[in-house]
A and B are shown apart, each in its own frame.
Chain A
Amino acid sequence: MSWTGKFLRVDLSKGTVKAEELNREWTRQYLGQRGLATKYFTEEVDPKVDPLSPANKLIFTTGPLTGTAASTGGRYSVVTKGPLTGCIACSNSGGFFGNELKNAGWDMIIVEGRSPKPVYLSVENETVEIRDASDFWGKTVWETENGLKARHQDPMLRVASIGAAGEKGVLYACIVNDLHRAAGRSGVGAVMGSKHLKAVAVRGTRGVTVKDPDRFIKAATEQKKVLADNAVTGQGLPKYGTQVLMNVINEIGAMPTRNSRDVQFEGAHKISAEAMHEPRLSDGKTNLATNGACFGCTIACGRISRMDPGHFSIASRPQYKEPSGGLEYEAAWALGSACGVDDIEACTFANFMCNEHGIDPISFGSTLAAAMELYEMGVLTKEQTGGIDLKFGSAEALVKAAELTGKGEGFGLELGQGSRRLTAKYGQPDLSMTVKGQEFPAYDPRGIQGMGLTYATSNRGACHLRSYTVASEVLGIPFKTDPLATEGKAGLVKAFQDATAAFDASGICIFTTFAWSLENLAPQLDAACEGSWTPEVLLEVGERIWTLERQFNLAAGMTAADDTLPKRLLKDAAKTGPAKGLASGLDKMLPEYYQLRGWTPDGVPTAETLKRLHLA
């Protein structure tokens, strides 16, 4: 019934696999996916664990709506302790892997230990085996996925795998499924690599059932219509993808550019959604070939791009002449604006590299931007970069750096440590645009103040997917707030964080929240799974998840001092645009935020708060 009620425990050290019953008390308190896996993880893993040691665990997990007809209901999450941050990490992904796992009869896979040799996990309904992957070690994600389909003689196989980056400990390596969908952030792929687990290959034919089928279909159909009728989810995202934001965010002066020295990028329009739709001079084709959906998604924001076959980068990579997962806003920003690169083909090429090798384009682009600033200062020399002329704006440098980092070779290994470690190594820690060691994404907190508080308090390090206040501050969803004001943002961030955690726990995509609130989610969950799911209950589940993640981070050694932003954002005012003269007002928002959360001024949940949330 919505949950399969079973999960797999895979011990790679011992080479054992066993099925266990899901703790149903925990599904009531934490729903599924991000929530449920966080509960299991925090119960089983010491917060002080070294993320890349066998004692860390890696949990693949689905939500109760995963595999159902609820729009976007195909997601899965990966929960672990992140090597980039030392915080709890939870990365989620779309595509078709999550629903396949659920269809195989499993809600979750807990991976423990470390295999003595490279292996992959094969899951065919109840037949689960740890198999040798020696001949796939060192291969790219694309080679691995296609290779496993061939080995199993099964084109329907769904594969989540890592590339060389994950094997070699690139700290922001991701886990990629369906060639270009990724559990992208915080280095979950590096943890997978440290366990010598190359891939998880799943085929499921058992089907997913819900509690009240007729009521569920009615609710899901009604809510799909809400998405279709909404301007963002019904028109904007299908046509332009998340890339619709490039020109918008640049206009309002919130586009972190050249390692956040600037808040506007003069070349933004050249790497925008509009540019992806424009026919090229060379072959008359557009960069965007089509949009594509993840499992069950009625929005279909995914970009499938076709590169210019005459572009300089493609000579050595004939496979990039075929269409593949193209630029999303965050990637276009990180590979483009952050590095000052306005060559959309080079950005697409680097994006293909990130997908093929399994690295997070946000952290990669942002780290490269920091390296470019070090290079410009003369701190990094051409000898140290292995001959790459690492100038801001250089498409050649972007292309070369992406390949080296994806393969974990040469200077790419240094870039693969992330900008905090890189800038510290060269004595310039303030040039790292990170929070808790994770690079922040494509919104400058000087132009969108709520995002400053969002980054500073995010439990997995800087991230936009933990409270997307851009929706309110820029797009006016569910109501418009002033992006340059700090007043009221503490409450806004808390509300977004808690609601987002509930959405993440349900098995669907956060992009539905442009049109849906918990009022739209609740009736679908209530019809799908046991329990009584109301917006109020879901909000409490969200707050419980958030607070549990916080408790783990505090136990791992984080303190209130880590809830901060890079000095550049706090001290250097924006030079242009609507935010000109403004720095981040984090200090005005953070104390109020702690208070609203029921935490002490030191950011620690009080006994009362823990009791209220049944966490103590």
Chain B
Amino acid sequence: MEKSLLIQPAKCTGCRQCEMACSFEKERSFNPSRSRIRVFDIHSEARFVPYTCTQCAQAWCLQACPVDAIKIDAATKAKVVNDNTCVGCKVCTIACPFGTINYVADSGKVAKCDLCGGDPACAKACPTGAITYVDAEQTGYDKMRAWAVKTDTQSHAHA
């Protein structure tokens, strides 16, 4: 079954444990600036939003790459950058509509979420359940359920 990261901003407290888990997994150091997942603090709305690559089916990054450095992982369907092939041209960063593939000056390559081979470190580290790794076809389930409860006003009115 294909799985994907489910992000629920309402549960996020902005602690950045996900950023540390990601940078540790990929770089062996705690370095939020090198994390493939970023938490945004929307201060004016009192909201925190974790944000990363959604592994979209169109994969503009992959399509735009002139040297075929981005491949689809057969098991996870993640779009994965091959560092040995990447030439750091940054075309993918322009092509991506979401800004979730980024150039890293230190390495001269781009970096993006690769779902950690099917065991995403960010989801494991999240203390509030704001980031989970679930069946890709059910990412809307909790939201649907919440709205189902909210819209179920008739039965209460008649009860």
Contacts and interface: CB of A to CB of B under 8 A. Distances in A.
B20 interface: yes
Interface stretch (B28-36, B59-67, B80-88): B28-36
Contact of A217 (B13, B24, B27, B31): B24
B112 interface: no
Interface residues of B, number: 26
Interface in B112-155: 125, 127-128
A181 to B, nearest CB: 12
A306 interface: yes
Interface in B33-49: 33-34, 43-48
A483 to B, nearest CB: 32
Interface string B5-39: 00000000111110011011001111111100000
Chain A at the B interface: mostly helix, strand, loop or mixed? loop
A207 B46 contact: no
A294 B13 CA distance: 9
Contacts of A302: 13
A206 B46 contact: no
B16 A296 contact: yes
Contacts of A67: 30
Most-contacted residue by chain B among A156, A210, A221, A292 (CB, 10 A) = A292
Given A69-B21, A207-B23, A290 B34 contact: no
A539 B45 CA distance: 43
B13 A69 contact: no
B47 A209 contact: no
Interface in A562-605: none
B14 A293 contact: yes
Contacts of A33: none
A119 interface: no
B28 A213 contact: yes
A300 B46 CA distance: 14
A228 B43 CA distance: 26
Contact of B15 (A204, A208, A290, A295): A295
A292 B14 contact: yes
B20 A290 contact: no
A103 B43 contact: no
A290 B46 contact: yes
Most-contacted residue by chain A among B13, B44, B45 (CB, 10 A) = B13
Interface in A235-275: 238
A289 B46 contact: yes
B31 A323 contact: no
Contacts of A297: 13, 15
Contact of A207 (B14, B31, B45): B31
A228 B127 contact: yes
Contact of B24 (A69, A99, A179, A224): A69
B31 A208 contact: yes
A291 interface: yes
Interface string A266-310: 000000000000000000000001111111111010101010000
Contacts of A206: 31
Contacts of B32: 99, 103
B28 A292 contact: no
Contacts, number: 86
A298 B33 contact: no
Contacts of B14: 292-293, 300
Interface residues of A, number: 39
Contacts of B16: 96, 293, 295-296
Contacts of A69: 17, 20-21, 24, 30, 125
Most-contacted residue by chain A among B14, B43, B48, B128 (CB, 10 A) = B14
A205 interface: yes
A322 interface: yes
B15 A323 contact: no
B33 A296 contact: no
Nearest to A99: B32
Most-contacted residue by chain B among A69, A206, A217 (CB, 10 A) = A69
Contacts of A304: 46
A514 B45 CA distance: 31
B29 A208 contact: yes
Nearest to B39: A293
Contacts of A306: 46
A103 B20 CA distance: 12
Given A213-B24, A228-B127, A298-B127, A293 B15 contact: yes
Contacts of A210: 30
A6 to B, nearest CB: 16
A352 to B, nearest CB: 13
Contacts of B34: 205, 207
B34 to A, nearest CB: 7
Contacts of A293: 13-16
Interface in A181-229: 204-210, 213, 217, 221, 224, 228
Contact of B43 (A68, A96, A179): A179
Nearest to A234: B127
Contact of A300 (B15, B20, B29, B31): B15
B103 to A, nearest CB: 13
A207 B27 contact: yes
Contacts of A156: 33
B31 to A, nearest CB: 3
Contacts of B15: 293-298, 300
Nearest to B106: A205
A157 to B, nearest CB: 12
A173 to B, nearest CB: 23
Nearest to B40: A155
Given A295-B15, A304-B46, A322-B43, A103 B127 contact: no
B8 to A, nearest CB: 13
A298 B17 contact: yes
Nearest to B38: A156
Given A67-B30, A103-B32, A291-B13, 10 more contacts: A69-B20, A69-B24, A71-B17, A209-B28, A210-B30, A213-B24, A217-B24, A224-B17, A297-B15, A298-B127
Interface of B: 13-17, 20-21, 23-24, 27-34, 43-48, 125, 127-128
21 contacts: A69-B30, A69-B125, A103-B32, A103-B33, A205-B33, A207-B27, A207-B33, A208-B30, A208-B31, A209-B30, A224-B127, A292-B14, A292-B46, A293-B16, A295-B16, A296-B15, A296-B20, A298-B17, A300-B15, A322-B43, A324-B43
Interface of A: 67-69, 71, 96, 99, 103, 156, 179, 204-210, 213, 217, 221, 224, 228, 238, 289-298, 300, 302, 304, 306, 322-324
